[in-house]
Structures are given as C-alpha cells and as structure tokens.
Structure 1
Amino acid sequence: MSTVFDFAAIEACLVEAALDPTRWDEAMERAAKATGSFGALLFDVQGHLPMLPRTRSVARAFDAYVSGGWIERDERFRLVPFLRARGVATDEDLLTSDEVARHPYFQEFLAPCGLRWCALVKIAAGDTFWSLSLQRSVEQGPFSPRELQHLVAFSHRAGSVAALATMLGLARAEAALDAFSASGMAAVMIGKDGTVLAMNGVAESLQARGLIVKGRHLATTDKGATERLNRALQTLLRDQSSVTSAPPVALPRPQGAPLIAYPVRLPHVSYNSLAPCQVIIILVDPDMQRQPPEFHLQTTFHLTGAEARLASMMLTGEPLESVAHRCRISYQTARNELKAVFAKTGTHRQAELVSLLTRLLPKLSDGRPHDETPI
C-alpha cells in the first residue's frame, strides 16, 4: 500500500464536519480514500453509542456490529491503553495471528464482512477522546510500519478538530436551552452517559418545586419513575434510527402534580454519537402551566404547526371529521396529521391523546383567559 497519505485533505474535511455536523459521513469517506482503506468510522472511546460517522462501504458490517451485539463486546476497545499512549494501535499490539484465527470477533463478525486489518488513530483533546477506525479488507493487508508512523503524526495534529467539534457541540446545545427559556420551558441537557450536563434557568427553578438531581442524574422520590426515565433515555441513546423522542415520563414529587419529562433528540444538537449533548429533557410543571400557545406543543413534541393546531383542537373531543372541517383540510390530510401526532406523542388513540394533553395542559380548555388565576 502507498505510504503517501493526504492528511491535509482529511483534516480539512474533519474541520468542515465540526462546523457542519451533516458532513461527518463525508469526512469518513475522505479519510478512507486518503489512507487507502476499505472504510472508516469515528468512535467516541468513552461511550459505546451506535450513531457513528461512517463510510457507506461498511454499512453491512456496521449493521452486523450493532444487531449482533458486537458493539457491546468489541475486542478492539482493549486497545485503548495502546491508543492513549502511542496515538495509534492495531490488533497486532494485543493478539497473535493464532489468537486472531480462533477469536469469535474476527472469525464470526469481521471475516463474513470481508474485513480483517485495522488501524485506530487517536483524535483527542481534553476530556474528548475519539478513535478514527481505518478498516482494510483481507486482500488489502495490514498497515505498514511506515504508514503507522504517518498516522501517529496525524494524530498529534488532529486533536484540535476534537476540541473545535466539542466546543461547537456544546454551543449548539446551550443555544437550544436558551431557545426553550425564551418560550418559558424548562429544559435539561443530557450527555452520552445519561448524566446532566446543564439546565436552563426555568429548569433550575423547578428544583425548588420537587425536581431532584442526584449524582448528576435526574431522579424522583419514586424509584419506579426514575427507572422509567432512565430506560427512556437509554432507548434514545442506543437507537440508531430516526426516532427523535421517547414517551413522556411522570416524575412524582412530595407536593403537587408530577412533573412530566419529555426526552427528545434535536437533530442539530444530537447529530451523532460524537455530540456532547445526546438528549434534551423538556420538563413541564402542570401546576404552573396555563393555556400555552400551540408553539409549546410544537416545541415539546416536535410537531409541525399544522399538527400542533390539530392536536389542540382534538382536546374538544370533536370527531376528526369536524376538526378537519374546522381546519379546512381534507379528512385524509387530517388522518395523516393525526397519525404523526400519535407517533410523536407516544399515543395510539384520540382518548389517549386527550388524556395526555389534558394532564400536560390542564387549563387549555377551561375557558379562562391565559393570565387568569383560578380562585
């Protein structure tokens, strides 16, 4: 294999991806091409999450990696000490040829995908520790000692990319928290390990009204509710599909109605497993909520404007035909919008939707003006 790597092209593409997270897969394509590799992936060493930037060439192998559970028992994570110390690591740092020939990871997972050789390249800065995984096929052969030396040099200069991407990722998440603050909504930033990274001022004020943060985790006095919230977070963290929200979770507190937690993934904030913020939890205090505008429904459930309008009108209990007429849309359009509302709110029938929104927006249809306090 050639030992002339176009590191300038790789670095430029990584910087572009840090600025525009939609380009991470493109950066992996450039890295694979520039290093003569079959494919490339970028892992966060400190979090085994599945939404990894990767080349199209490893799509089949990656599906097997996740569906076969190899992501939880990846033999190459044992190379992390070598990677941390030297900047580059290969399987040969850990295993002999005979061991590779007998090891299930190589024979049951990699071999059927036509893969064998790998070079891991450290891209790290501060607490951010990534591994650029360059994959070569059986036919391509291993990286030469000279190629590995070049990759070590690249590792030294690539750390700035990790720092830039982390800084911008946090900035995007903080901007989202500010946006929720502007609409009067409590929001909590959750990291890749499920811990609280930050919360906006509205969420902080809820700590005086029963919100608990214990060991950097959101919690409640009800153990079952805390477990349900943690399961909802893990569902989002470990799902590599287009799912952007989990069903709401009620968080009981000593006084008042339970807080309602809505875990969501915002595409521009939680763009892949490299993003420092993986989930944002929107918190609603039913005791404080008063006839919010449809914008709140849009923000909480990721509804479109039309879907939010339909959802709010469904609270009257009218049949869908009547709501469609009032919205001046066809019945079929209304059905399609209602299906989208069900999917995004985790409900399945109109009665469930009305029950959920009534708990969330208890004064939405009681006829009081927005700022009137009940006697």
Structure 2
Amino acid sequence: MMDKEGADPVIAAFYRAALEPLQWSVAMRAFARLAGGDVACCFLKAETGAVPSRGYVTGLDQSAWEDGYRRYYHALDPGYAVLTRGPPGRMHLMQDYFSEQAVARSEYFQDFYLRAGVRYSCSGVVRDNGALTILSAHRAAGQGPYDRNTCGQLQRVLDHLPNVFCLRDTAQQAQAHGALAWEALDALPRAILLADACLRLVFMNLAAQRLLAATSPLASVITLHGGKVAVRVSQLQQQLAQRVRQACVGLACHRPAPLYASDADGRPALEIGILPLPVRIGPADGEGASLAMLSLRPLFRSARRHWPGAAERPCGLTGAEWSLALALADGMEPAEYAQRQGVCISTVRSQIQAILAKTGTHRSSEIASLFSALEWHAGAQP
C-alpha cells in the first residue's frame, strides 16, 4: 500500500540528498515506501546498451545489482525501450506494456527480475547532464500492480528530479556538502522560498525574486509583509500557515496537493507546493532547525505552442479535463463536445465537476473565462 503521507516528504528527502550525499539511501527508501514496495533504484545510463553508472539502489541484494543487472541483464531490460520511446519526464506503469505471456517469454523477467523477488515496476527517465537517469520503484507479485493514484504520486517526485540534480551539481561545485548552499538554490529555475514555522522568510532564490518583482503580475498574488510570506486571500493564508507549520515540525501533511493562489479577478494564478526541508541555517540559529520550502509555479501562461504534458497542466487537470476546458473556452457546448468526442454527456458533466473542483470555479462559464486567455486551442493536440 502506498505511503499515506504522500509525495511531499519524499520530494524533500531528494532535495536534502542533493545537499547531503549520504542521504540518498534515505530518499530511495522513502521513494520505495511511497510506491508501496520494497525496491527502488535511480541510476544514470548514457545510452542504450551502456552499463548503468552512478546508481542508488535500495531493497535489492547488492550482488544481484552488481553481478546481475549491471554486468548483464541491463542490456536485456525491455523497460528501457519503453522509457526511451517518448520524451523524458513521464512515469510509466510497466504492467501496461508487458503481459503475463511476455513476462513468461522474457529471459530478463524469468532469470533476473522475478528471481530478485520483484514483479511490477513504475519507471521514468529525466535528463541529467545529457544522459538519461532512470528512476524506478518495484513491487513483489504479492503486493499487486500499481494503481493510477500511486503513479501520479511517483510522477510528482520525478517532476522535481531535474531540479534535484541541478542543486546537487551546484552544491558539489561549491563544496557545500552537509549545509544549505544558497548559491545552489539560486541556480534552480523554479522559484523557491524558504520560510520558518511562523512564515518568516529565510531565503528567496533569484527565480523567486524575478517572479515576485513589482513589475510582475504575480506581485499582488503572493507578497512579503514585515518579512513574512503572505497571500491575498485570508482563508488561503490560514491554509498556507498551517501547512508550513506542519512541514517545519515534521508532521505528516493530510492534504499533500499544492495550494493555489488567485489573482485579483479570482483566477488561479500561482501553484504553491510546500515541502519540509530539514537543514542547518547557521550557528546563530542553531543546528538542525527545520524550514519549509515553498515551490512556486505560475499558471496559465499564454503563447505556448505545444500540447502540455501532465507536469505542465495547471491545477492537476488530466488530459481529458484539459481538452474539455479549452473546448469550453472556445465556446463549445458540453453536449456538442460529448458528441464530437464520442462519449456520454454524463462523462462530460463529471469532467466539468472535476475541473470546477480543481480550479476553484463554480460554473462552466467561469471555466471558459479562465482558459480563454490561452493561445492553446482544443484542436491543437497532436
């Protein structure tokens, strides 16, 4: 069963591992628990057929990894072909690609994978200095296959991995192991704020400074008052304060989904992810003081020319919900959309309810208004 604490503590563990290399084993065990399994691995593979290097493995016998996978079976791994078939950045459920018959015929599955005590995997790849890094979680047959919810939580971890590697590389260059490297956080493309349990701002990276500059349209969405982080809606401010306080004292977050701050027109404009980040913030503040890391992502940017992947769709919309939202923005009626898509009108109505809940809107007309500023169109999906 998937870890009920969700992805946030696991993401935080990977960020800490980027700064403290000895913490990689902790991060990998947390990732395996999140997947509801015992085995997880993260390794770099320069190209097809190349021997994996710089690997982190948990839950698998070391000799099985070194003598089995690295020395021979990596070249037979059919999952690698699945991962390299499309662009990086997506977690794949291997149960969708390999039937029981395919597993029975495969030397890799029969002579290595099943003998190692695992059966199901959820895997993805990201770019790391030009090479591909594979992140995988594995379950034994008795633990059952993965569900979509678990895959979505593992996807959230994969989405952060490029930033984790950027932080790792910059920290290594600065020789900043074991302590928070402000220079490393400045190198991240994602806007990051660090705050204590009282929402006092401890650090803001360069991306966040640009995002919250006075000339930015988001400057009124999230602000700094008296050195504290604040959002414009009081109810959301209370939620933010509670989540940050929970992160700083190490309590499990019962609502791991990001928060969404609205602009002056009531439209969701900024996604705020809250992660615990145990760090040392200087002798004057005491060692081991815990902070919360606020990861900021603007929503609904216009002039985008490609169909967004799951990591880019705002408010956690699915592909079907995204397509419907854009169709409504183009003026299409739900009944017409259902007819064109060949689905029941009840399915479209259920999708509309899901969009309303995720975007904080109350009726279809508000969905249309929210998405009408985009230059995406419902027919633009490849």
TM-score (norm 2): 0.40
> Going by fraction, where is helix more abundant, 1 or 2?
1
Instruction: Specify the structure having the higher radius of gyration (Cα).
Output: 1
